[in-house]
Amino acid sequence: MISLLSLHSAIVRYWNQYKLKKLKFRYFGTNIKICPNFKLGHTENLILHDNIVLGENIFINAQGGVEIGSGTITGPDVMIFSVNHIYDSEILPFAEELSLKPVVIGENCWIGARVFICPGVSIGEGSVVAANSVVTKNFPPCSVIGGNPAKLIKTKNKEMYSKAKEKSIYNTFIKAD
């Protein structure tokens, strides 16, 4: 049984690597781990910096541009959109025109499971987004946010964050397959 699981795991890993090699990214850093069942749209507008882990079943539509900073980790089932239909038009239910707004996630962020990030959002470096949150607005560095819509819960100690960053404590455990 273990050998079947190992074989399945190897097949999934190589299939994901094959799919990734066929995509053309605006920028694709080093030591990036993208877990199985990912869906990445418009990768020509997607910037992934170094040491990133994107959780299982992540969905990113980068049509309007998406940038994810170094050291950022996402949980499973995260959805990031940089595009939306224009809904306040004379055409029902929405216009065919699209509203493109870039999404920027700073370095060393932790995005919890099943988070939804809306077009035009900027999340400052060192921030934490609680699971099941819907992020509809910008947040400064070192924010701890959560809810629907996401609100600022607290601010992390910026001095402690800066020291940890200098010592490279963040993400020393991440190893890409």
Active site residue 85: yes
Task: Pick the catalytic residue from 8, 42, 49, 85.
Answer: 85
In sign, the C-alpha dihedral spanning 164, 168, 173, 176 is positive
70 and 29 in contact (C-beta within 8 Å)?
yes
Longest CA–CA separation in the chain, Å = 59
36 and 58 in contact (C-beta within 8 Å)?
no
Measured distance CA(117)–CA(4) in Å, rounded: 37
- The C-alpha angle with vertex 58 and arms to 56 and 64, in degrees rounded to 5, equals 165
Catalytic residues: 85
